[in-house]
Structure 1
Amino acid sequence: MTGVPVPGPGALGAEDVTVVVNGRTLVDRVSLHVAPGEVLALVGPNGAGKSTLLRTFYRVLRPTSGHVLLDGEDVWRMPGKRLAQRLAAVLQETAGDFELTVYEVVAMGRTPHKRAFEGDDAEDRDIIMGSLEELDVAALAQAPFDRLSGGEKQRVLIARALAQRTGTMVLDEPTNHLDLRHQLDALRLVRRVGVTAVIALHDLNLAASFCDRICVLDGGRVVATGTPQAVLTRDLLAEVYRVEAEVSRHPGTGIPQITVVPDARRDGRPVERG
């Protein structure tokens, strides 16, 4: 990748984090530690607390109790600019419409590294264009962001986070709206740049393929944490997702592969009678 290298990654963690909103507990005493350079997937059914937990990492939502730590320092005690120099985020609600070009949106990622009203220098431009190229949107640099497709917008927002050049990233469903090729490209990129990353994913097969560990949430609580091989079992999928699934191993990599077994009675298909 062009431009300066990504800074060394830091350790990210949640210490007994609870989030209560309008009397409802969305995250319940979650403790989670991500080592420097590790990629961890947050998985679980809708409403499990994945997005809520990620928002506490990036200071969008303050924990009711507990602490979020970056290299041992509480993120809520850090100046906002310094946090933005060290941690980047791709959150679902950031996918709104900006009256900016694609280039200008990605250039926003350089803001934490600049003084007020300071323009882009040659290094900034190199980083911005390199990030656009990595996400296959360089040809759209001068296009209005608000006229892009959902998948194109998502790639631009990932490019913006990449241009921020932090050592740690949190990504909330970064593969949403992306076709299969760009899903793979985005997750390969996170691994290649070597950042510490926490990624909320719905696709368990992608989580198993690209993440070092998986943390399963259900009802705001941690159900299991470990390697994909240890966590993704038939029993856990039945307990958490309420589905019957077969878990096999890829013959070359040993990575778990999950196939949901349809229930004819529930899925509306004709039931064969003996």
Structure 2
Amino acid sequence: MTAQAAALAVQDVWVRAGGRDLVRGVSLEVAPGEVLGLAGPNGAGKTTLLRTLYRARRPSSGRVLLDGHDVWRMPGPWLARRMAAVLQETAGDFDLTVYDVVAMGRTPHKRAFDGDDAADRAIIAAALDRLDVTGLAYAPFDRLSGGERQRVLIARALAQQPGTMVLDEPTNHLDLRHQLDALALVRGLGVTAVVALHDLNLAAAFCDRICVMDAGAVVALGAPREVLTPALFTDVYRVNADVTAHPETGVPQVTLRTGHRDPAI
């Protein structure tokens, strides 16, 4: 049974390392079942912030709350049953099959040394099928392409049956069809999700709100049509862009002006 979607709150989080502030006073709230897109240029602090959410990097100050519980004060198994992370690190230097990797998603729900029972196997099979990797189930994970690995890691998160998901560039390496499928899957699960994306057209199409970071701080937060403006692209990304509404859906669409560049930018 999938965990209940939780309310996620980030309260004045700072992350300092090597004498630099990587994340600077970030505060935001994600409602149960909401999909929040996390955007910004390289080095903006997106991955560092995500790492504080799933306890891979302790914040220097501030708190991360899941349904009011400070995730850094709760036991690891408590968080693992409620939150799954899909990361960019997909190097496969271990001797596991695709099935083994997806089956790891069941670990938080079992006692040590417990094997997979019929219910576990059904959940694993369903996750493999949802991500279109059933045919790779017994292939070595370390021999997959980057896109195949990414789909397997999303399948592992799905097998975990979390109520909250943190995804760092989940569409990385995926072809167009699987990019759309992966984000539609997250959107359709009803979980609380924070998704780091570089493709702002995908973020506009699949996210309820978009949070834009720059130099470790939040510089814009709101609905896609409020956040994605030509001024944002000039100020944050240092590029010229046109933003129009899709004629059928009304979703903002970003078109970069690649033919010329304003010398002032």
Normalised to the residue count of structure 2, the TM-score between the two structures is 0.97
Give the CA deviation at 1:193. Answer: 1.0
Q: 2:228 aligns with which of 224, 229, 232?
A: 232
Q: Number of paired residues?
A: 263
Contact 1:106 1:160 in 2 (8 A): yes
- 1:88 counterpart residue number: 84
Counterpart selection for 2:248 from 252, 256, 260: 252
Which of residues 213, 223, 230 is equivalent to 2:209? 213
Judged with a 3 Å threshold, the aligned counterparts in structure 2 of structure 1 residues 167 and 115 are, in CA distance, closer, same or farther, namely same
For residues 29 and 127 of structure 1, what CA distance do their matches in structure 2 show? 39
1:30-89 C-alpha deviation (Å, 9 max, x unpaired): 001100000000000000000000000010000000001111110001100110000000
User: Would you say the 8 A contact 2:92–2:143 is kept in 1?
Assistant: no
User: What is the rounded CA distance, in whole Å, between the counterparts of 1:161 and 1:34 in structure 2?
Assistant: 19
Measure the CA separation in 2 of the matches of 1:193 and 1:137. 19
Q: Does 1:186 align with 2:182?
A: yes
Superposition RMSD on alpha carbons, in Å? 1.3
Partner SS, residue 93 of structure 1: coil
Partner SS state of residue 89, structure 2: helix
| Aligned-partner residue type, residue 139 of structure 1 | G
Cα displacement string for residues 114-135 of structure 1 (whole angstroms, at most 9, x for unaligned residues): 0000000000000001000000
2:260 & 2:115 partners in 1: Cα distance? 61
TM-score normalised by structure 1 residue count: 0.94
* SS, match of residue 51 in structure 1: helix
* Residue 47 of structure 2 corresponds to residue 51 of structure 1: yes
Q: Structure 2: any 5+ residue segments left out of the alignment?
A: none
Q: Pick from 35, 40, 46: which aligns with 1:39?
A: 35
Distance 1:220 1:263 in 2: 31
Identity fraction in percent: 71
Shift of 1:95: 4.2
User: 2:90·2:149 contact (CA, 8 Å) conserved in 1?
Assistant: no
The residue aligned with 2:10 is 14
Moved more, 34-43 or 255-264: 255-264
Contact 2:106 2:160 in 1 (8 A): yes
- Conserved? CA contact 1:18–1:26, under 8 Å: yes
1:75 aligns with 71
SS in 2 for 1:264: coil
Does the CA-based 8 Å contact 1:95-1:157 persist in structure 2?
Answer: no
Structure 1 stretches (4+) deviating beyond 4 angstroms? Answer: none
* 3-state secondary structure, aligned to 1:10: coil
Within the alignment, does 1:126 sit opposite 2:122 as a pair? yes
For the residue of structure 2 that corresponds to 1:246, the secondary structure is strand
| Cα deviation digits, residues 211-232 of structure 1 (max 9, x gap) | 0000000000000100000000
Write the mapping of 1:165-204 to structure 2, written as runs, cut at 5 A: 165-204=161-200
SS of 2:116's partner is: coil
Match of 1:115 in 2: 111
Q: Distance in 1 between matches of 2:261 and 2:85?
A: 42
What does 1:144-183 correspond to in 2, within 5 Å?
Answer: 144-183=140-179
| Structure 1, gaps ≥5 residues long | 268-274
Specify the code of the residue in structure 1 equivalent to 2:256: V
Task: Classify the secondary structure of the residue corresponding to 2:37.
Answer: strand
